Structure 1
Amino acid sequence: MSGGTIYGVGLGPGDPDLMSVRADRLLRNARHVAFFRKPGRNGQARKIVDGMIPGSATEFPMEYPVTTEIPLSDPRYNALLATFYEDCAAHLKNLSNTGEDVVVLCEGDPFFYGSFMHLYSRLRDGAQVKIVPAITGMSGAWTATGDPITWGDDVLTILMGTLPEDDLARRMAQTDALVVMKIGRNIEKVKRALKTAGLYDRAWIVEYAQMPNQRVCKLSDDCEEITPYFSIIIVHGQGRRP
């Protein structure tokens, strides 16, 4: 396939030192850099690579039309985001068609619950797209607690805080180790589900994992200073070991 390459570059959990050598090389030689952000914000991905992008590079901030303003169940939510992703993908493809390479910044790993996947599904058949994998945010979070997440035959379950409370509690009760993402305004629901599943006293919350402002707290302790945004909840497995 002719033209430039669109790179989905995983930045890891937040510390630039944890990025791959390949990601670092692509960033420092980039001519075009795209990244997601909320309107009026710098964007978390862009903050991570501050000082690494050449001053001559052209930056393309992709600003979400909606985040939490309307509920996920509202048909407008998917409609607005679908149009947004179509427009962003078209812009990247146009650059690629002119022979330009584009680096798209992705927090964590590009193929793990990230916005880049929505661009990838629209670009993969009409442009050359390459993925640079990275350490996930959840890996950075459980490492921050200082204990292994799984032992022996432990089953690890990853849940989204956006799920209904009954579903959360049921799935939590069926696993050995647990990661809960997308907490945000769902924090109280997640706490209740953890209590129902009998996991609340084993749960940790990690904010800004592997970043300079990282904070780690046992959920049952006084964690009021930790905001649920940019936070992940961790429950360690207690499985078989020698």
Structure 2
Amino acid sequence: MTVRAVQVIAGADVIAYHSARHGRSIARSIAAEHLRADHIEEALIYPVTTESTDHPGGYRGALDEFYESAAARLAAHLDAGRTVAVISEGDPLFYGSYQHMHKRLAHRYPTEVIPGVTSVSAAAARLGKPLAEADEVLTILPGTLPEEELTARLASTDTAVVMKLGRTFPTVRRAMERSGRLPEAHYVERATMTGERTEKLADIDAETVPYFSVSVVPSRIADLPPGTATSTETAMTAETATATTTTTTTTTTGEPSGHGEVVVVGTGPAGPLWLTPESRGALAAAEDLVGYTTYLDRVPLRPGQRRHASDNKVESERAELALDLARRGRRVAVVSGGDPGIFAMATAVLEVACQAPYRAIPVRVLPGVTAANAAAARAGAPLGHDYAVISLSDRLKPWEVIAERLHAAAGADLALALYNPGSRSRTWQVGKARELLLEHRAPDTPVILARDIGGPEESVRTVHLADLDPHQVDMRTLLIVGSSQTQAARRDDGTQVVWTPRRYPEG
């Protein structure tokens, strides 16, 4: 208890505390030595805790009625001129029972809230492990969340505390396992109180877990040796890839982890806002990051991680480097833009991973928001019906193949998402694609030019197919060409939306 809490209890006329129907109050037991014989005690006993109720308003109705009644009891003391101290374990405004009294009384009577030590801080202290360091993000979760939600949030955060275990423990444990956090998770029961217990979460029997227990996934940074560098950059080119593979098999953190894997992660078209929780977690857990420099720059620096950056022309070398690192026990994330399986790094990694030296290395591909979906969302719903995705780059396939596919897709009346439409060295493909498409589409077919979606220079414009200007298209632009059914309209607020109806005309 804080000094101020002891002072307030000493000066109060009435001591109020919540408890279940068994009448035992943890808050009262903590403050017991400071209570006097002349204190008036108000035991605010919940009518229900976790069991069912026949109250006409259900569980919530029963509790709301109880809170109103409890507040009225305290108000009667206050109206009589008595000072009331409502004692609450932990902090009164952190998942505390007192907050329901606060909502009903604080606007009517002078109120002082005395902060307390939360179970979160107490658990970390008993474990002797920091909760968060540097730029790490701490997430506090109630175990009552659905399992999928728990899993996603555990996967995406740096450190976490899950509260309110008890009956939720099996769900929490599964979420820890599914998110890959179980090996890091600790269990703390009744921190700083009689019956305290601390163990690894994986070793806990669910039948022994009370409500007053928490799970802690502590700081990863805290486990690094003192003086560990924030991040080590390794530049990689086609000429230096082999040397890099042999010189970066250990890091400033010491020995490899012993359980290597490669995770191919899509960052979305522009970084954190469109990064999935699973991908965020994989990037945080990786010991090595491998990728094109532009995409690596989207990932926050983390102590102990090594970055192996390269230009965008050495995909096979990047894949081989990542797999070599994993073969030596490293957890490696190959960073890709958009979705890694759409014109991106997943193919390169899997091609190499199926070769003899690497076939036993675990490889996972995590989905990301691809540029076509991001651009379509900005424009409205132009891909609302069947559509095709085609790259206009002829670096890896002949233009004749691209032209044949454009003819086939346009002839089938599919909307089109056109990736890699142009660059400094490829300037004629967009004009040629426009000519081919006009053989199948009306001149006023909507075409969306989506550039730098999600980035600082984002722009989305809609033009007619006949007016598509190749000089306005670069490698940061994605084109979406509508089908014969695609419509464009301007709304009352001046915005233009484009959509392709889901219903196609018969005949």
Same-fold call, TM cutoff 0.5: yes
What does 1:39-118 correspond to in 2, within 5 Å? 39-70=21-52, 76-118=58-100
Q: Are 2:112 and 1:130 equivalent residues in the alignment?
A: yes
Residue 28 of structure 1 and its aligned partner are, at CA, apart by: 2.6
Structure 2 equivalent of residue 31 of structure 1: 13
> After superposition, what is the alpha-carbon deviation per residue over 1:28-55, rounded to whole angstroms, capped at 9, x for unaligned?
3332100000112221111111221011
What does 1:183-198 correspond to in 2, within 5 Å? 183-198=165-180
Equivalent of 1:199, from 181, 187, 191?
Answer: 181
> After superposition, what is the alpha-carbon deviation per residue over 1:90-133, rounded to whole angstroms, capped at 9, x for unaligned?
11111111111001011111111111111101112212221011
What does 1:168-179 correspond to in 2, within 5 Å? 168-179=150-161
Equivalent of 2:198, from 216, 229, 232?
Answer: 216
Question: Would the aligned equivalents of 1:144 and 1:209 in 2 still touch at CA under 8 Å?
Answer: yes
Question: Would the aligned equivalents of 1:35 and 1:61 in 2 still touch at CA under 8 Å?
Answer: yes
Q: 1:97 to 1:80 in 2, by over 3 A?
A: same
> After superposition, what is the alpha-carbon deviation per residue over 1:108-159, rounded to whole angstroms, capped at 9, x for unaligned?
1111111111110111221222101111111001111111111211110011
Q: Structure 1 CA distance, aligned partners of 2:51 and 2:32?
A: 28
Q: Structure 2 CA distance, aligned partners of 1:65 and 1:188?
A: 26
Question: Would the aligned equivalents of 2:173 and 2:202 in 1 still touch at CA under 8 Å?
Answer: no
- Which of structures 1 and 2 has the larger relative contact order (alpha carbons within 8 angstroms, sep 6+)? 1
Letter in 2 for 1:216: T
Q: 1:224 to 1:82 in 2, by over 3 A?
A: closer
Letter in 2 for 1:152: A
> After superposition, what is the alpha-carbon deviation per residue over 1:171-221, rounded to whole angstroms, capped at 9, x for unaligned?
100000000001110100100000000000110110000113211001123
Query: Which of the two has higher C-alpha Rg?
Result: 2
Partner-residue secondary structure (3-state), 1:28: helix
Structure 2 equivalent of residue 139 of structure 1: 121
CA RMSD of aligned residues (A): 1.8
Percent of aligned positions that are identical:
38
Question: Would the aligned equivalents of 2:77 and 2:84 in 1 still touch at CA under 8 Å?
Answer: yes
Partner-residue secondary structure (3-state), 1:229: coil
Question: Would the aligned equivalents of 2:169 and 2:206 in 1 still touch at CA under 8 Å?
Answer: no
Q: Structure 2 CA distance, aligned partners of 1:84 and 1:225?
A: 30
Q: 1:223 to 1:69 in 2, by over 3 A?
A: closer
Q: Structure 2 CA distance, aligned partners of 1:183 and 1:40?
A: 20
Q: Structure 2 CA distance, aligned partners of 1:222 and 1:182?
A: 15
Letter in 2 for 1:221: D
Structure 2 equivalent of residue 238 of structure 1: 220
Letter in 2 for 1:147: K
Matched residues, number:
222
Q: Structure 2 CA distance, aligned partners of 1:144 and 1:204?
A: 11
Question: Would the aligned equivalents of 1:26 and 1:103 in 2 still touch at CA under 8 Å?
Answer: yes
Partner-residue secondary structure (3-state), 1:33: strand
Structure 2 equivalent of residue 9 of structure 1: none
Question: Would the aligned equivalents of 1:89 and 1:122 in 2 still touch at CA under 8 Å?
Answer: yes
Letter in 1 for 2:127: T
Letter in 1 for 2:94: F
Equivalent of 2:144, from 162, 169, 194?
Answer: 162
Letter in 1 for 2:2: S
